[in-house]
């Protein structure tokens, strides 16, 4: 897997573009406003005290106690941990309280961004050994899919809301990490003993994943179904039966997810008032909306089709292997979408499907694109390689132009309000705010519970002391 010297300059150029993209992403993350759920979880509000006090849902087993966020302990805990412990660590180096808060938020988004690039690489490279050139090439391709503006609403991976990142992107990335040993052993067709450190990692991650984001349990159920049917239906998990350790850890996470799913039935945030049939109708509208809102998916499908044709036409990848992979992705996507409406209805997600709940499908097709591009790039030579690079680079440019920062997503107003708060010495700090500050809307300022939560968070982050209180007033 070596490149001629002339292509080393190309890899260097791609590395520079990657660094530029990461730099612009950091700038964007830093300018994002803080969403309205963060303070509720970090403080926490009365609403979320129960889930943080009941990691494994034992109160549900004992007394059938229903509460907000049931079955989602891991996401709540790590959100709170990041914005307390990591926030405190950052505070050692950053003394400005407002700057400290936004750097803490930026750091987590950047962390997810980098983890996504690593996951794209380890899954796309298959059984190949680590190659810096491969990592740069794959990262260059993958980073184009981190969309904030143009294609975010149909192809968003890292949410604009920092709180949602803990409930969607983070659990999915950790799940991919959990299943990486399965994937690695399958691609290498080698099911020897699992290294000892992986046993510890999988044992720890199993329950944490089961009690995390709302998408994890249905994904595990689908993969478990594929695993059981592997003997009869060709799919990507067909060969995993050869290993006892894989079977054990699959059963391990499946049992935890089954129990965690039971606890989520006591989540008072779930809305079952919309009939199931209506939810399926809304879901179909949502899928159509995502696929047609912008040309992102059209470009992605077209790029995959071209790569599929090149791979098969020039016999770069075995057609049977490729068809098997495509069948797995299509089957998984359809089953996942079929299960989605059964999870209930949310008023803030009226069409059931949104870029965040569509994320597992998005990651599947992004993986397929990156996998094919990586494989073809290292297999073709001469004129064909140059032509292929032209297609791939054009794709990257289109997505990058679409994602150009337009300045609309800004936290200037939030920061100005928080600056006023942190510099005030008054016991009662009354501030007129024309924008949402630790809320979703300015109308929430009038609700006592919200203001209590906001004040708890501001004291926790050092904006005010124990003797002070903030009253935010909606600006007319």
CA distances from 337 to 5, 156, 183, 360, 364 (A): 46, 17, 23, 10, 13
Please answer whether residues 403 and 337 qualify as being in contact, where contact means their C-beta atoms are separated by less than 8 angstroms.
no
Banded model confidence at residue 190, pLDDT cuts 50, 70, 90:
low
Cα–Cα distance measured from residue 297 to residue 365, given in angstroms and rounded to the nearest whole number:
10
Q: How many domains would you assign to the chain?
A: 2
- What's the pTM value of the predicted model, to 2 decimals? 0.94
Q: Is residue 119 part of a domain?
A: yes
- Going from the C-alpha of 155 to that of each of 173, 174, 282, 344, the distances in angstroms are 16, 20, 19, 23
CA–CA dist 290, 365 (Å, integer)? 14
- Does residue 143 lie within any of the structural domains? yes
Same domain? 295 vs 229: yes
Residue 226 has pLDDT above 90, yes or no: no
Same domain, 151 and 204: yes
Q: What is the mean pLDDT of residues 160-184?
A: 94
Mean per-residue pLDDT of the chain: 91
Residues 337 and 459 grouped into a single domain: no
Q: How far is CA 119 from the centre of its chain?
A: 12
DSSP 462: T
Assess if residue 69 is contained within a domain. Answer: yes
Cis peptide before 331 (omega within 30 of 0): no
Write down the pLDDT at residue 246.
Answer: 82
| Average pLDDT of span 243-258 | 90
Q: Are residues 342 and 454 in the same domain?
A: no
Q: For residue 5, what pLDDT is reported?
A: 62
- The backbone torsions φ and ψ at residue 465, rounded to the nearest 5 degrees and listed phi first, read -95, 180
pLDDT band at 273 (very low <50, low <70, confident <90, very high): confident
Nearest-angstrom CA–CA distance, 354 and 445: 28
**Is 239 found in the same domain as 156?**
yes
Q: H helices within 156-211, ranges in order? A: 162-167, 169-188, 196-210
State whether residue 472 is helix, strand or coil: strand
pLDDT at 238: 56
Pair of tokens at residue 92: 């050692």
Kindly report the three-state secondary structure assignment for every residue of 31-47. HCCCCCCHHHHHCCCHH
If one compares 219 and 385, the residue with the highest pLDDT of the two is: 219
Low-confidence winner among 254-263, 301-310, 408-417, 451-460 (lowest mean pLDDT) = 408-417
Kindly state whether residues 334 and 285 are assigned to the same domain: yes
Flag the least confident range among 90-99, 338-347, 362-371, 443-452: 338-347
Helices 382-402, 5-31: crossing angle, 10 deg rounding? 10
Q: Establish if 407 belongs to a structural domain.
A: no
Q: What is the pLDDT of residue 4?
A: 54
Cβ(159)–Cβ(354) below 8 Å: no
Mean pLDDT, rounded, for 293-318: 93
Reference 403, options 132, 206, 143; nearest CA is 143
Q: Among residues 402, 422, 457, which one ends one of the domains?
A: 402
Instruction: Based on the fold, state whether residues 113 and 249 are members of the same structural domain.
Output: yes
In a domain, 47, yes or no: yes
Assess if residue 114 is contained within a domain: yes
Q: Which pLDDT belongs to residue 9?
A: 87
d(CA 174, CA 172): 5
Classify residue 78: in a domain, yes or no.
yes
DSSP notation for 271-334 = B--S-HHHHHHHHHHHHHHHHHHSTHHHHHHHHHHHHHHHHHHTTSS-HHHHHHHHHHHHHHHH
pLDDT at 361: 97
| pLDDT tens, residue by residue, 56-70 | 999 998 988 899 999
Domain match, 190 and 324 both: yes
- Domain of 427 in residue numbering reads as 412-474
Task: Report the C-alpha gap between 318 and 181 in whole angstroms.
Answer: 23
Q: For the chain, what percent of residues have pLDDT higher than 90? A: 74
Indicate if the pLDDT at residue 305 is higher than 50: yes
Residues 146 and 72 in one domain: yes
The mean-pLDDT minimum among 141-150, 172-181, 287-296, 340-349 falls in 340-349
Say if residue 232's pLDDT is above 60. no
Contacts of 242 (CB under 8 A, 6+ apart): 191
Residues 169 and 309 in one domain: yes
Q: Judge if 360 and 325 occupy the same domain.
A: yes
Task: Extract long-range pairs of 458-466: CB within 8 Å, 24+ residues apart.
Answer: 458/421, 460/42, 460/43, 460/84, 461/83, 461/87, 461/97, 461/100, 461/101, 462/91, 462/97, 463/97, 463/98, 463/418, 463/421, 463/422, 464/421, 464/422, 464/424, 464/429
Residue 366: CB atoms within 10 Å: 23
For residues 250 and 288, state if they share a domain: yes
In a domain, 75, yes or no: yes
Buried b (16+ CB within 10 A) or exposed e, 351-361: bbbbbbbbbbb
Region 431-449 average pLDDT: 93
pLDDT tens digits, 106-150: 999 999 999 999 999 999 987 777 889 999 999 999 999 999 888
Instruction: Check whether 1 has a pLDDT greater than 50.
Output: no
Among residues 377, 402, 427, the one where a domain terminates is 402
Single out the residue in 368, 402, 436 at which a domain terminates: 402
The 3-state DSSP class for residue 470 equals strand
């Amino acid at each position: 897997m070596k490149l001629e010297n002339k292509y080393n300059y190309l890899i260097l150029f791609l590395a520079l573009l990657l660094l530029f993209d990461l730099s612009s992403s950091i700038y964007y993350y830093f300018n994002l406003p803080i969403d309205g759920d963060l303070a509720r979880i970090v403080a926490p509000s009365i609403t979320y005290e129960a889930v943080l006090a009941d990691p494994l849902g034992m109160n549900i087993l004992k007394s059938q106690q229903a509460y907000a966020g049931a079955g989602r302990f891991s996401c709540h805990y790590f959100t709170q941990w990041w914005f307390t412990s990591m926030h405190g660590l950052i505070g050692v180096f950053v003394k400005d309280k407002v700057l400290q808060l936004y750097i803490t938020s930026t750091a987590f988004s950047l962390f997810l961004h980098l983890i996504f690039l690593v996951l794209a690489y380890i899954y796309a490279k298959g059984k190949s050994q680590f190659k810096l050139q491969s990592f740069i090439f794959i990262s260059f391709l993958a980073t184009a899919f981190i969309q904030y503006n143009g294609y975010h609403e149909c192809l968003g991976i890292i949410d604009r809301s920092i709180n949602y990142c803990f409930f969607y992107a983070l659990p999915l990335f950790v799940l991919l990490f959990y299943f990486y040993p399965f994937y690695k052993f399958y691609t290498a067709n080698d099911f020897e003993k699992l290294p000892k450190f992986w046993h510890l990692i999988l044992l720890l991650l199993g329950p944490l994943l089961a009690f995390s984001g709302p998408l994890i349990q249905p994904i595990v159920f689908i993969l478990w179904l594929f695993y059981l049917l592997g003997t009869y239906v060709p799919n990507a998990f067909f060969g995993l039966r050869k290993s006892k350790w894989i079977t054990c850890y699959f059963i391990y996470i499946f049992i935890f997810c089954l129990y965690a799913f039971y606890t989520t039935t006591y989540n008072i945030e779930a809305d079952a008032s919309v009939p199931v049939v209506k939810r399926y109708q809304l879901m179909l509208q949502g899928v159509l909306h995502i696929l047609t809102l912008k040309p992102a998916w059209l470009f992605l499908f077209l790029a995959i089709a071209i790569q599929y044709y090149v791979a098969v036409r020039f016999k770069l990848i075995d057609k049977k292997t490729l068809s098997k992979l495509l069948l797995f992705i299509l089957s998984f996507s359809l089953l996942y979408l079929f299960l989605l409406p059964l999870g209930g209805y949310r008023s803030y997600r009226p069409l059931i499907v949104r870029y965040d709940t569509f994320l597992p499908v998005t990651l599947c097709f992004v993986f397929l694109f990156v996998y094919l591009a990586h494989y073809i790039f290292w297999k073709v030579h001469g004129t064909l390689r140059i032509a292929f690079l032209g297609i791939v680079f054009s794709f990257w440019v289109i997505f990058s132009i679409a994602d150009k920062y337009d300045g609309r997503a800004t936290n200037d107003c939030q920061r100005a309000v928080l600056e006023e708060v942190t510099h005030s010495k008054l016991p009662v700090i009354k501030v007129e705010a024309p924008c949402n500050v630790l809320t979703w809307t300015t109308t929430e300022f009038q609700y006592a519970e919200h203001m209590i939560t906001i004040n708890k968070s501001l004291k926790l982050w050092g904006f005010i002391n124990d003797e002070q209180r903030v009253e935010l007033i909606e600006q007319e």
